[in-house]
């Protein structure tokens, strides 16, 4: 077996709850999430601290248990957003088993995935309200339908309804969420991944599996509590969700991309310093940057600067941020490094 090269010392935990709780305790005043709010052409931002995030986790998780969902399988479907992260971590940290679903699935496959996973509840964005109405009318297996959006159909509970209920339950002394015993090697999440047949494979991961990934990444990556991560890989894939967990465990601020065409604008908007992505996206960014360089007639200049930089790096002299300042400024000016791997579930 090939030995793993360890660059940094790190704490090893066996559950996601331990990683997240230590971050909440250590960085209570740090901003965990920045949420962009758009009303017509008006844009505002909501900052959610680690302290507030921790409170929301306890309140929402307490409500889910109060609904009878402790130990049950709970599906999540929607684009990357605060409520998705909150739902996922509430389930992993003290409720049951999370079942992330691809937001691009057609209605029939959503229903099939819910049946195959034996999900007893589903948390969804308002875009799926009609789908959930159809499923609820013919699938008695699903006992609870919970919408992520504060403004939704009155037919369904919302995440924020349950947070408010959870606040009341906690005020009355309900400790069910915090008392929930997490067995590290029990199933924590079920991921549907494409396979060699037409039907997606259901892969079961434990808290221990995911915590081991975090430990290994911490051994090779230096994440700073001052970093800003942009989460644009879909959370229903393990690379996207595990990347989020990694950054949350370090007190990092997390922001959301407005879409692939807005990546460069969002990098500048939030002064992003770190993110995870797939090679295809890096290649697209690289081609776009070089197209701009060629358009400005600076190809030879950049090649010369690259040669100088590579030579100096042999002597541990790093002037890349000075040499390529203009390029970095167009990417927000704070970018430190990117974690990339082939796309998978």
Helices 238-248, 207-220: axis angle to 10 degrees equals: 70
C-beta of residue 265 within 8 angstroms of C-beta of residue 258: yes
User: Do residue 332 and residue 192 come from a single domain?
Assistant: no
- Containing structural domain, residue 294: 277-340
At residue 166, the pLDDT reads 98
% of the chain at pLDDT higher than 90: 71
In this predicted structure, the answer to whether residue 306 has a pLDDT above a threshold of 60 is: yes
| End position of a domain, from candidates 220, 244, 266 | 220
In DSSP notation, 161-203 reads HHHHHHHHHHHTT--HHHHPPP-TTSEEEEEEE--SSSSPEEE
Whichever domain contains 156, its CATH number is: 3.40.50.12780
- Does any domain span residue 3? no
Using alpha carbons only, give the angle 208, 210, 213 rounded to the nearest 5 degrees.
110
At residue 1, the pLDDT reads 33
Count CA atoms within 13 Å of residue 270 on its CB side: 31
C-beta of residue 227 within 8 angstroms of C-beta of residue 274: yes
- Does any domain span residue 96? yes
Other CB atoms within a 10 A radius of the CB of residue 200 amount to 19
Torsion sign over Cα 178, 181, 182, 188 = negative
Arithmetic mean of pLDDT over the chain: 91
At residue 344, the pLDDT reads 47
Q: Considering its fold, how many domains does the chain have in total?
A: 2
- Does any domain span residue 266? no
Condensed to tens digits (0 to 9), the pLDDT of residues 173-228 reads 999 999 999 999 999 999 998 655 667 888 999 999 999 999 988 888 899 999 99
Structure tokens that stand for 28 in this block: 């209570």
| End position of a domain, from candidates 202, 220, 238 | 220
In this predicted structure, the answer to whether residue 324 has a pLDDT above a threshold of 80 is: yes
pTM of the predicted protein model: 0.91
- Does any domain span residue 326? yes
User: Do residue 332 and residue 202 come from a single domain?
Assistant: no
3-state secondary structure of 241: helix
- Does any domain span residue 257? no
User: Do residue 135 and residue 43 come from a single domain?
Assistant: yes
In this predicted structure, the answer to whether residue 2 has a pLDDT above a threshold of 60 is: no
CA distance 282 to 343: 12
C-beta of residue 227 within 8 angstroms of C-beta of residue 273: yes
- Does any domain span residue 216? yes
Q: Region 246-272: what's the mean pLDDT?
A: 94
User: Do residue 158 and residue 303 come from a single domain?
Assistant: no
CA distance 336 to 328: 10
Structure tokens that stand for 166 in this block: 């959870």
At residue 197, the pLDDT reads 61
Helices 299-313, 279-295: axis angle to 10 degrees equals: 120
Condensed to tens digits (0 to 9), the pLDDT of residues 94-120 reads 999 999 999 999 999 999 999 999 999
């Amino acid at each position: 077996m090939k030995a793993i090269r360890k660059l940094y010392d790190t704490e090893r935990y066996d559950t996601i709850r331990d990683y997240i709780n230590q971050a909440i305790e250590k960085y209570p005043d740090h901003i965990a999430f920045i949420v962009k709010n758009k009303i017509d052409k008006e844009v505002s931002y909501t900052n959610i601290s680690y302290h507030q995030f921790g409170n929301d986790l306890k309140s929402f998780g307490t409500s889910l248990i109060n609904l009878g969902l402790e130990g049950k399988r709970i599906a999540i479907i929607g684009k990357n957003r605060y409520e998705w992260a909150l739902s996922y971590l509430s389930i992993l940290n003290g409720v049951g088993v999370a079942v992330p679903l691809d937001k691009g699935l057609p209605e029939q496959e959503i229903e099939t995935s819910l049946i195959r996973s034996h999900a007893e509840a589903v948390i969804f964005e308002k875009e799926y309200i009609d789908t959930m109405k159809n499923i609820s009318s013919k699938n008695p297996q699903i006992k609870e339908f919970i919408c992520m959006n504060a403004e939704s159909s009155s037919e369904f509970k919302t995440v924020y309804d349950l947070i408010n209920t959870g606040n009341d339950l906690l005020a009355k002394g309900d400790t069910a969420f915090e008392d929930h015993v997490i067995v590290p090697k029990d199933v924590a999440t079920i991921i549907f991944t494409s396979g060699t047949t037409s039907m997606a494979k259901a892969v079961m991961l434990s808290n221990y599996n995911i915590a081991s990934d975090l430990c290994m990444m911490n051994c090779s990556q230096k994440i700073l509590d001052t970093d800003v991560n942009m989460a644009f890989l879909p959370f229903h894939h393990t690379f996207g969700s595990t990347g989020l967990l990694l950054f949350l465990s370090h007190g990092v601020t997390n922001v959301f991309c407005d879409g692939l065409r807005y990546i460069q604008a969002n990098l500048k908007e939030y002064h992003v310093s770190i993110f995870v992505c797939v090679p295809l996206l890096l290649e697209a960014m690289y081609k776009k940057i070089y197209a701009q360089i060629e358009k400005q007639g600076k190809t030879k200049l950049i090649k010369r600067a690259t040669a100088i930089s590579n030579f100096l790096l042999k002597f541990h002299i790093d002037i890349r941020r000075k040499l390529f300042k203009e390029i970095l400024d167009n990417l927000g000016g704070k970018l430190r490094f990117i974690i990339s791997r082939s796309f998978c579930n």
